[in-house]
Amino acid sequence: EVQLLESGGGLVQPGGSLRLSCAASGFTFSSYTMTWVRQAPGKGLEWVSAISGSGAYTYSADSVKGRFTLSRDNSKNTLSLQMNSLRVEDTAVYYCAKGYGNSWGDAFDIWGQGTMVTVSS
């Protein structure tokens, strides 16, 4: 069964750091783009950052550029999002999502259950 399991969420103070992980199973991890999508409480979905199957290329939304770093370990089937200089407006549920293929235009076919990040003093 294809599955994504996020972890690492929690409560952090403004300016702090947090590292989210997404454990993948049931598919050839290195063959697919992977993406983080977030959803602030009561708000819509926001695309955050994406990484190619090899890990050589990443793209991020302007709202997180320079603060968040996306990486993957294809040997461990794990996706990671290092979040630094966190702001109150980064408070959201963070979803890990698998692409249909390894092209940037590919939609997401599998979603994790999400992990909550709360930035508050």
Partner 1 sequence: QTVVTQEPSFSVSPGGTVTLTCGLSSDSVSTSYYPSWYQQTPGQAPRTLIYNTNSRSSGVPDRFSGSILGNKAALTITGAQADDESDYYCALYVGRGIKVFGGGTKVTVL
The one among 59, 74, 77, 116 contacting partner 1 by CB under 8 A: 59
Contact mark string toward partner 1, 69..88, x via CB under 8 A: --------------------
- Counts for the chain of helices (H) and strands (E), in that order: 0, 11
The one among 21, 27, 67, 106 contacting partner 1 by CB under 8 A: 106
Residue 50 binds partner 1 (CB under 8 A): yes
CA angle 42, 46, 50 (to 5 degrees): 150
Residue 109 binds partner 1 (CB under 8 A): yes
The dihedral formed by the CA atoms of 94, 23, 106 and 68, expressed in degrees to the nearest 10: 50
